[in-house]
Chains A and B, each alone.
Chain A
Amino acid sequence: DTEVTQTPKHLVMGMTNKKSLKCEQHMGHRAMYWYKQKAKKPPELMFVYSYEKLSINESVPSRFSPECPNSSLLNLHLHALQPEDSALYLCASSPPLGGGAHETQYFGPGTRLLVL
């Protein structure tokens, strides 16, 4: 298995809803990432997990809550989102190199989120 999968592909939610995005990889990668991408803009890093521990939080609002239950799975829990949170949410993973460094990232197809 050489891909990163994301579910759902599309999600529409109201501002009072709670939903979750799921990301999975079975490539043995030990770093996993969440990015947010607005139309015609580059991806913006949100969170990084390394060896199942949260290592980077790019000052993301608490209405986004990441979770890494195991080395293959990454979730993003959403609660009380705002319309401006509508975007493509991308998950990525990367293999460990010597010394724990990670380089090339492998991206999933993304979840397109619309907040009404």
Chain B
Amino acid sequence: SQQGEEDPQALSIQEGENATMNCSYKTSINNLQWYRQNSGRGLVHLILIRSNEREKHSGRLRVTLDTSKKSSSLLITASRAADTASYFCATDANDYKLSFGAGTTVTVRA
């Protein structure tokens, strides 16, 4: 079942600009994860943030989590053409089931 809602649905930016997308969810979580999917391919795990963490960095990625607002954001800095993809947040409320958001489609223009 889909728990997360993502905003915006689509984002078009110039190469070198930053991209920010948001995810909101409804129930308590153990962790929140972000995945990337290139067109028609499998998902690639980007970053996991636990419910007791507020911010996490990985390379050009920065993720924040606000459990009081049940929301998270993903920032991609200095975007590249290769960042063109769909980005999904996924919440983990128990051992096995990830609930995916609707996704944000990011297009990076050269």
Residues of A in contact with B (beta carbons under 8 Å apart): 4, 6, 31, 33, 40-43, 45, 48, 50, 55-56, 88, 90, 92, 100-110, 112
Q: Which of A31, A42, A45, A101 contacts B88 (CB 8 A)?
A: A42
A56 partner residues in chain B, CB cutoff 8 A: 96-97
User: Given that A103-B48, A104-B33 are known contacts, is A110 also in contact with B97, CB under 8 Å in the complex?
Assistant: no
Which residues of B lie under 8 Å from residue A40 when comparing CB positions? Answer: 103
Chain A interface, >50% SS class: strand
Q: Are B101 and A104 in contact (CB under 8 A)?
A: no
12 extra interchain contacts, Cβ-Cβ under 8 A, other than A33-B96, A42-B100, A107-B42? A42-B2, A42-B103, A43-B88, A45-B98, A88-B40, A90-B42, A100-B95, A101-B95, A102-B96, A103-B48, A105-B45, A107-B43
How many residues of B are counted as interface, with CB atoms below 8 angstroms from the partner's CB atoms? 21
List the interface of chain B (C-beta within 8 A of A).
2, 31, 33, 35, 40-45, 48, 88, 92, 95-98, 100-103
